[in-house]
Amino acid sequence: MAEINRAVKGTNDILPADSHNWQFVEGKMLEVAALYGFKEIRVPVFEHTEVFLRSVGDTTDVVQKEMYTFDDKGGRSITLRPELTAGVIRSAIENGLVNGALPVKVCYIGGCYRYEKPQAGRLREFHQFGVECIGAASPNADAEVIALARQVLRSVGIEKISLEINSIGCPECRKEYHKALKEYFSANIEALCGTCKDRLERNPMRILDCKSPICSEIAAKAPVVLDYLCDDCREHFEQVKAHLNAQNIEFTVNPHIVRGLDYYTRTVFEFVSGDIGAQSTVCGGGRYDGLISQMGGPKTASLGFGMGIERLMLVLENQKAELPEAPKTDLYIATMGEKAAIKATALCAALRDEGYKAETDICGRGLKAQMKYADKIGAKFTLVLGDYEIENGNGKLKDMTEGTVTDIKIDEVVEELGEAIRLQIFKNIAEIM
């Protein structure tokens, strides 16, 4: 029975005290995406398992070790999404988006699920913001998507973060690279973990992404893909760098970036922070020109990225970024007696209709307890109503910051509260000036 009061391991609650920060960050993400022409898409939290087997790749850690897969009551194999790109592409194919005006620019915010060892910045349920740009093959599309990611990070207050880029080539130039990797890793096969021994024949590039310390040490001296790029892929990568330079976006070329999913081609990139320990990648993405045809759609060049929101929040916390305060209650109406309670209900309704945040007692508290509650929730103003105030039609509006009290007409509380808030704002501006 103790389990009923505990969250499942690897999941976190986002409490009311924190949700405003999440809303601010998510709002900025969608706001910046809109500047680049990206519109929100929402796809199911689970898909047919084949969607991920075909897209993510059956040699990846995600598919081999981390997916939440089950048979539903109809006997169908269903998987909770470990990432969102595959579901978005499935939707784009199914709904004919890939056959319309290109590029299709979509963005999303949603939960993902991977069975991993929980640690800081790595959960079993986590949230991603991401974008997909479908139908754009040119290098400036790569630079635009990278610029979007950087602007999102800056817009929420993150400055100390670095961009690393690489090219992993196309299927053609990767053939020679795979040969070189097989030759290199075959000489070290006895030291490889069991999973990587299997990967050696099926997809040796996956060994480069292995988390085993021994495999990582061996992989660090492996041939680098940049030495095997074909002329077209090399030129594409040079143009990506030129477009980044044109926007004054600083980057370093990291030839060891391969990303953890099989669908990537050509440009791959990561935004990395040194403020969250081992889980340093806050955003990762790249080009996946073969994914749509691989999933049954027309051959369509595409690219995108995913950004872990939990990791982003950790970076903001560790960099002590200043986030806006949560909006506070404009007016709390404390009451004494049934007539006052009914009048307060009517006043709150009128205030809310005008866009003010208004509250009154709904717990049957005494006046002293109500005022304590108003103070705890940080109400900007309070108004006390009793029989006397109801009969005379007047009340006293208290500014909880200044402690000043103003006589107001109860039936004009909407107008007078608005004037009081405006005066308070002007006073704050004057103090800043």
pLDDT grade for 432, boundaries at 50, 70 and 90:
very low
- Count Cα neighbours of 382 within 13 Å in the Cβ-side half-sphere: 21
Name residue, tokens 């040194």: 274
Same domain, 347 and 306: no
**What was the pLDDT predicted at 263?**
82
Upstream peptide bond of 16 is cis (omega within 30 degrees of 0): no
Same domain, 103 and 131: yes
Same domain, 151 and 28: yes
Same domain, 290 and 348: no
| CATH code where residue 364 lies | 3.40.50.800
Same domain, 58 and 156: yes
* Edge-to-edge strand list for the sheet holding 46-48: 46-48, 77-80, 69-71
Q: Does residue 429 surpass a pLDDT of 50? A: no
Same domain, 272 and 373: no
pLDDT grade for 276, boundaries at 50, 70 and 90:
low
> What value does the mean pLDDT of the chain take?
90
pTM score: 0.89
Q: Does residue 2 surpass a pLDDT of 70? A: no
The one-character DSSP state at 57 is: -
The C-alpha atoms of residue 365 and residue 361 are separated, in whole angstroms, by 7
Give the end of a domain, one of 318, 344, 369: 318
Yes or no: say if 194 and 254 are a contact pair by the CB < 8 Å rule: no
The C-alpha atoms of residue 128 and residue 148 are separated, in whole angstroms, by 15
Strand, helix or coil for residue 211: coil
Q: Is residue 204 domain-resident?
A: no
Annotate 271-297 with three-state secondary structure. Answer: EECCCCCCCCEEEEEEECCCHHHHCCC
pLDDT grade for 113, boundaries at 50, 70 and 90:
very high
pLDDT grade for 433, boundaries at 50, 70 and 90:
very low
| CATH code where residue 96 lies | 3.30.930.10
Residue percentage of the chain with pLDDT more than 90: 64
State the total domains in the chain.
2
Q: Does residue 240 surpass a pLDDT of 90? A: yes
pLDDT grade for 257, boundaries at 50, 70 and 90:
confident
Give the end of a domain, one of 297, 318, 339: 318
The C-alpha atoms of residue 349 and residue 228 are separated, in whole angstroms, by 69
Between 235 and 318, residue with greater pLDDT: 235
Range with top average pLDDT, 129-143, 272-286, 307-321, 393-407: 129-143
Strand, helix or coil for residue 104: strand
Q: Is residue 59 domain-resident?
A: yes
Upstream peptide bond of 103 is cis (omega within 30 degrees of 0): yes
> Where is 24: in which H helix or E strand?
helix 16-35
Q: Is residue 353 domain-resident?
A: yes
Annotate 45-60 with three-state secondary structure. Answer: CEEEHHHHHHHCCCCC
Q: Is residue 404 domain-resident?
A: yes
Range with top average pLDDT, 63-67, 70-74, 275-279: 70-74
**What was the pLDDT predicted at 428?**
55
Range of the structural domain that residue 391 is part of: 331-422
Q: Which residues contact 409 (CB under 8 A, 6 or more apart)?
A: 393, 394, 395, 416
Between 218 and 241, residue with greater pLDDT: 241
Same domain, 165 and 34: yes
Which tens digit of pLDDT belongs to each residue from 308-345?
Answer: 999 999 999 988 888 898 999 999 999 999 999 999 99
Same domain, 307 and 337: no
Using CB atoms within 10 A of its CB, is residue 36 exposed (0-12), middle (13-18) or buried (19+)? middle
pLDDT grade for 58, boundaries at 50, 70 and 90:
low
Same domain, 124 and 240: yes
Same domain, 348 and 294: no
Same domain, 259 and 393: no
Name residue, tokens 């109801």: 390
Name residue, tokens 């108004």: 383
Which tens digit of pLDDT belongs to each residue from 377-421?
Answer: 999 999 999 988 999 999 999 999 889 998 999 988 888 888 888
